[in-house]
Chains A and B, each alone.
Chain A
């Protein structure tokens, strides 16, 4: 792999974007390598969660303009589809995926972060979409996921102005869930993810799915979907273990069955 590294820390896979010579700008190769990694991690049952981050002080800048500036429309469609495929793979990944952002998370980089479950950052983080300044627009789902997260008006402001959103501002508008100190960001996020992954993984997966799918449909149908997922929990060993442990006042040992 030329554009990223994958390291396993206990049951968490840490994926680090690595093209430091260009602020980890996203190119076709990075998209393909990420796609391949997420596919492999999906079938690796020892991996309970994924942490996405970037090397050398930045998460990722936008797409590599060098690569795309002479694209024909057909090539552009192909590129956008690769990016959208990756983002939907991350979004539908059956276990938690968190993004830790320091430095720049711009354009395609931000779109990848937006497709994870939520974003955590340190005070150096800066977010933005500069695509309009280059005569194009975000194409990996950013124009759709950003308004669903921060509201339509704010999303328009961010896209139209192309201005950077600071870490503080990102926290205020809900783009980022929590801020951590720069020197401990990775450890703090890793710790949070490990804590998450000590819960019943089956119910986590179901919660993730009903939140994501339910958000797209009307509340009435969505609640019925939740009801059915709730009932399915009672066919699992995790439910027996989780509730048994609670009543016996001990720590549960989940097996994911």
Chain B
């Protein structure tokens, strides 16, 4: 795949994995890194061998820790606006992707890194996860949709606690507040994440794509319109080569 400085990729068994790796202790999401992520996702999107995508910071200490403070320190409002726009463009791309994207949170996940995790369709965490949104401590708020995605994921009172206290939460706490879907032991983490992703990638891409579209739409539109969309999407999958066989197989497997 592409030639990147701040990440590398691998494709195996239908799963494309992007490893954030900027050569420093923590993976900061500065503008260059966001550009590279956009490019890499574009390539994986076009690759028909890839049915599911993982973004992770394995084997490093962090998943991602948000913007580079040194880069931001001297920002003017217009720079802040542009930077936020760049990040939101990446997150729009993740949302618009036809493939399920998993955030594999291997360790420290803070600020913009937490927002990146929230932009993913599914979050799987290592028991080493430490997650926080410490913007208030720094005199800023996040600009990568965190103030909007977090309340939609964990409820708005919990989201306020997270933003107002700047506190760091453990993997178990993240699981309890439904910020992550699963927690795995650190020593088996990547293997479990790969297994999970391969199970997803093994399903027909069209059904996955439509399910993702509809679930994302559910965040934004009223029930009546959502129902109409679901109806159209459901109907469009019939008849499709392969899916009737899969339905029959499913019932045979589950008949006892």
- Residues of chain A whose beta carbon lies under 8 Å from any beta carbon of chain B: 96, 117-119, 148-149, 174, 177-178, 192, 195-196, 199-200, 202-204, 206-208, 210-212, 214-215, 218-220, 222-224, 226-236, 238-244, 246-247, 252, 254
The proximity string for B residues 149-179 relative to A, scoring 1 for CB distances below 8 Å and 0 otherwise, is: 1111001111111011110000000000000
Cα distance A149–B157 in the bound complex, in angstroms: 7
Contact of A148 among B69, B76, B78, B156 (CB under 8 A): B156
Of all chain A residues, which has the CB nearest B157? A118
Contacts of A96 in B (CB 8 A): 164
Q: Cβ of A210 and Cβ of B161 under 8 Å apart?
A: no
Q: Cβ of A149 and Cβ of B155 under 8 Å apart?
A: yes
The residue among B84, B85, B164, B220 with the most chain A CB atoms within 10 A of its own CB is B164
Cα distance A236–B73 in the bound complex, in angstroms: 12
Cα distance A226–B146 in the bound complex, in angstroms: 9
User: What distance in Å separates the Cβ of B165 from its nearest Cβ neighbour in chain A?
Assistant: 6
Q: Given contacts A200-B139, A210-B148, A211-B147, are A240 and B73 in contact (CB under 8 A)?
A: yes
Q: Cβ of A233 and Cβ of B140 under 8 Å apart?
A: yes
27 contacts between A and B (CB under 8 A): A174-B155, A177-B157, A199-B139, A200-B139, A203-B136, A207-B147, A207-B164, A208-B164, A210-B148, A211-B147, A211-B160, A211-B163, A218-B219, A226-B143, A227-B84, A229-B147, A230-B84, A231-B78, A231-B81, A233-B80, A233-B140, A235-B76, A239-B138, A239-B140, A241-B139, A243-B69, A243-B139
Q: Given contacts A211-B151, A254-B139, are A226 and B145 in contact (CB under 8 A)?
A: yes
Contact of A199 among B152, B161, B164 (CB under 8 A): B164
Q: Cβ of A200 and Cβ of B140 under 8 Å apart?
A: yes
Contacts of A233 in B (CB 8 A): 80, 139-141
User: What distance in Å separates the Cβ of B231 from its nearest Cβ neighbour in chain A?
Assistant: 21
- Interface residues in B, total, Cβ within 8 A: 46
Contacts of B81 in A (CB 8 A): 227-228, 230-231
Q: Cβ of A207 and Cβ of B156 under 8 Å apart?
A: no
Of all chain A residues, which has the CB nearest B140? A233
* 17 extra interface residue pairs, beta carbon distance < 8 Å, beyond A177-B158, A210-B147, A252-B137: A177-B157, A199-B164, A200-B138, A204-B163, A207-B164, A208-B164, A218-B219, A223-B91, A226-B143, A226-B146, A233-B141, A234-B76, A234-B140, A239-B139, A246-B138, A247-B73, A254-B139
Contacts of B84 in A (CB 8 A): 226-227, 230-231
Of all chain B residues, which has the CB nearest A228? B81
Contacts of B151 in A (CB 8 A): 211, 214-215
User: What distance in Å separates the Cβ of A55 from its nearest Cβ neighbour in chain B?
Assistant: 24
Contact of A210 among B85, B139, B141, B165 (CB under 8 A): B141
Q: Cβ of A226 and Cβ of B157 under 8 Å apart?
A: no
Cα distance A229–B51 in the bound complex, in angstroms: 37
Q: Cβ of A243 and Cβ of B148 under 8 Å apart?
A: no
Q: Cβ of B136 and Cβ of A214 under 8 Å apart?
A: no
Contacts of A232 in B (CB 8 A): 77, 80
Cα distance A231–B88 in the bound complex, in angstroms: 13
Contacts of B155 in A (CB 8 A): 149, 174
Cα distance A196–B167 in the bound complex, in angstroms: 10
Q: Cβ of A229 and Cβ of B141 under 8 Å apart?
A: yes
Q: Cβ of B73 and Cβ of A243 under 8 Å apart?
A: yes
Cα distance A88–B166 in the bound complex, in angstroms: 25
Contacts of B138 in A (CB 8 A): 200, 203, 239, 242-243, 246, 252
Contact of A211 among B73, B156, B165, B221 (CB under 8 A): B156
Cα distance A177–B148 in the bound complex, in angstroms: 19
Q: Cβ of A235 and Cβ of B77 under 8 Å apart?
A: yes
Q: Cβ of B140 and Cβ of A247 under 8 Å apart?
A: no
Q: Cβ of B141 and Cβ of A199 under 8 Å apart?
A: no
Contacts of B181 in A (CB 8 A): none
Cα distance A167–B147 in the bound complex, in angstroms: 27
Cα distance A102–B78 in the bound complex, in angstroms: 47
Cα distance A219–B149 in the bound complex, in angstroms: 8
Cα distance A240–B75 in the bound complex, in angstroms: 9
Contacts of A246 in B (CB 8 A): 69, 137-138
Q: Cβ of B219 and Cβ of A219 under 8 Å apart?
A: yes
User: What distance in Å separates the Cβ of B215 from its nearest Cβ neighbour in chain A?
Assistant: 12
Cα distance A238–B137 in the bound complex, in angstroms: 10
> Is the C-beta of B79 less than 8 angstroms from some C-beta in chain A?
yes
> Is the C-beta of B142 less than 8 angstroms from some C-beta in chain A?
yes
